[in-house]
Amino acid sequence: MIATTGPGLMGLITVFVLAAFVGYEVISKVPSVLHTPLMSGTNAIHGIIIVGAMIVLGEAHGTAQVTLGFFAVILATLNVVGGFVVTDRMLEMFKAKPAARKAEEPATAQATSTATAGGDEGASS
């Protein structure tokens, strides 16, 4: 189906098992501060389904396949684009800014964020 050389089912299973170990090992020491960005970052990575969506839509015949493939492309694009943009926005906050604090103006200047008066209290637990 795909234009790559097929490694065969056993080869694919080998790849699957090895990838599982890599995925597990590579994030084994992540500080809790980064849990949210990491979740968001991995969320963007499974957006790779967009490649699968492109392939099935590219090869699609008939209304059913074309329609399903088209929606698959839209959903996958949402996943990949939204995922990376959200992650980048989160990580923007972690930029090192050692001297920035004294130099900048009092926080009132930057409190331009929409002050939503609403909101309930209570942290999550």
Partner 1 sequence: MSRATATDLVYLVAIVGFILALKGLSSPKRARLGNLAGATGMIIAVAWTFSLPSVHSNHRNLLLIIVGMVVGTAIAVPAARFVKMTAMPQMVAIFNGVGGGAAALVSITEFIALGSSKTIAIYKIVEILLGVLIGAVSFSGSGIAFAKLQELMTGRPITYPGQQAINAVVGLTILALVIATIVTASTALLVLVLILSLVLGVIFVLPIGGADVPVLISLLNAFTGLAVAASGFTLNSTLLIVAGTLVGASGTLLTRMMSHAMGRSLPNILFSAFGAVVTATGGEAGDASRAVRSGTSEDIAVLLAYARKVAIVPGYGLAVAQAQHTARELADALMERGVEVYYAIHPVAGRMPGHMNVLLAEANVPYDELKEMDEANPEMATTDVALVVGANDTVNPAAKNTPGSPIYGMPIINVDQAANIVFMKRSMRPGFAGIDNELLYDPKTTMLFGDAKDSLTKLVAAVKAA
Going by C-alpha positions, the residue among 91, 82, 12 that lies closest to residue 47 is: 82
Measured CA to CA, the distance from residue 9 to residue 2 in angstroms comes to: 14
DSSP 27-94: TTT--GGGHHHHHHHHHHHGGGHHHHHHHHHHT--HHHHHHHHHHHHHHHHHHHHHHHHHHHHHHHTT
CA 10 to mean position of chain CA atoms: 29
| Min separation Cβ 46 and partner 1, Å | 4
| Min separation Cβ 109 and partner 1, Å | 9
| Min separation Cβ 17 and partner 1, Å | 8
Measured CA to CA, the distance from residue 93 to residue 105 in angstroms comes to: 18
| Min separation Cβ 63 and partner 1, Å | 11
